[in-house]
Amino acid sequence: MNRRTLRRAFSNLMVGLMMGAVVAALLPLIFILLNLVVKGAGSLSFAFFTQTPAPAGETGGGVVHAIAGTLMIVGMACLIGLPVGIAAGIYCAEYPTSRLTWVTRFVADVLNGTPSIVVGVFAWTWIVATQKHFSALAGSAALAMLMIPMVLRTTEELIKLVPNSLREAALALGYPRWRTSLGIVVRTTLPGIVTGSLLAVARIAGETAPLLFTALGSQYLSYNLNQPMAALPLTVFTYATGPYEEWHQNAWAAALVLILVVFVLSIGARLAIRRGFDLNG
């Protein structure tokens, strides 16, 4: 064998190995999706999306209470978490030498690695226990706490990618510092910040542990954020651990719905970004 065939064989081997890695990474995902579709799609019906659960032991009913609950709890968490996370991220990126930045970054990294159940217990201690009742709002607060460090760090890293020359261009035109930051630097990174926020939303939408301690779950459609509320992950948990076969069926279906909700959210927002920020591409 001459050098050239050897080199080519080595190249093919490496490409093969990498393709193997891709397949290994994708297989579990595909398996999960297929499994959910096979076991859950059968229970999906119009009623599943529009009705509240049937009494235990009876067939029929739906999970509209959990879909609405997830949307409300996650929406509320976004209202709290996104502004704080993004603003703090901008601060950290724009004032990298400040002591506050060092502390914030450190705390965010620690929080990022904190198991979500710990955050749940924390929210229980400070909100549920002091209010003496479970509430959706406590759930949102717990989810927001998970969100903030994620959003903060992505925002910061993205803003740091903005070339300094762009900043200087704005300053040389007479832009005050704050306008340079918001008008030029943040505008340029906006699509990235939106994507980062979406990833955070997708992650917290599936969180179960913090909600167990806070939103608790419910069998009814409720719009009161100060009361216990159902959420898809909680419903999956309740149904999957319940004693009835119908419940198990519904757990699969609810899990499928949860994945669909996250899926629709990310695709929708991605399309919106592409249309809205063409210029910044």
Contact segment (CB under 8 A) with other proteins among 24-32, 137-145, 165-173, 208-216 equals 165-173
171 near other proteins, judged by CB under 8 A: yes
169 near other proteins, judged by CB under 8 A: yes
Among 18, 34, 166, 182, contact with other proteins (rule: CB under 8 A): 166
174 near other proteins, judged by CB under 8 A: yes
Q: Count the alpha carbons within 13 Å of 120 in the hemisphere toward its beta carbon.
A: 15
Contacting other proteins within 196-255 (CB under 8 A): none
Q: How far apart are CA 66 and CA 1, in angstroms?
A: 65
Among 16, 177, 220, 263, contact with other proteins (rule: CB under 8 A): 177
Q: Which is nearer to other proteins, 70 or 189 (CB)?
A: 189
Among 39, 107, 175, 269, contact with other proteins (rule: CB under 8 A): 175
x/- map, 78-107, other proteins, by CB under 8 A: -------------------x----------
End-to-end alpha carbon distance in the chain: 48
172 near other proteins, judged by CB under 8 A: yes
H/E stretch holding 52 reads: none
DSSP category for residue 54: P
275 near other proteins, judged by CB under 8 A: no
Q: Which is nearer to other proteins, 87 or 166 (CB)?
A: 166
Put residue 242 in one of left, alpha, beta given phi > 0 → left and psi -120 to 50 → alpha.
beta
Q: How far apart are CA 212 and CA 4, in angstroms?
A: 61
165 near other proteins, judged by CB under 8 A: yes
Contact segment (CB under 8 A) with other proteins among 48-56, 142-150, 181-189, 192-200 equals 181-189
Q: How far apart are CA 81 and CA 212, in angstroms?
A: 20
Q: How far apart are CA 51 and CA 138, in angstroms?
A: 26
The CA angle 143-159-82, to the nearest 5 degrees, is 20
163 is written with which tokens?
A: 């070339």
160 near other proteins, judged by CB under 8 A: no
The CA angle 204-205-211, to the nearest 5 degrees, is 75
How many residues bind other proteins (CB under 8 A)? The answer is 22
Q: Which residue has the tokens 């899990």?
A: 255
34 near other proteins, judged by CB under 8 A: no
Residues sharing a CB contact under 8 Å with residue 211, sequence separation 6 or more, in sequence order: 73, 120, 139, 142, 143, 217, 231, 233, 234
Q: Which is nearer to other proteins, 5 or 165 (CB)?
A: 165
Residue 120, strand partner residues: none
5 near other proteins, judged by CB under 8 A: no
Q: Which is nearer to other proteins, 64 or 171 (CB)?
A: 171
115 near other proteins, judged by CB under 8 A: no
112 near other proteins, judged by CB under 8 A: no
Count the residues in the chain: 281
Q: Which is nearer to other proteins, 65 or 167 (CB)?
A: 167
The binding site for other proteins (CB under 8 A) comprises 97, 163, 165-177, 179, 184, 187-188, 279-281
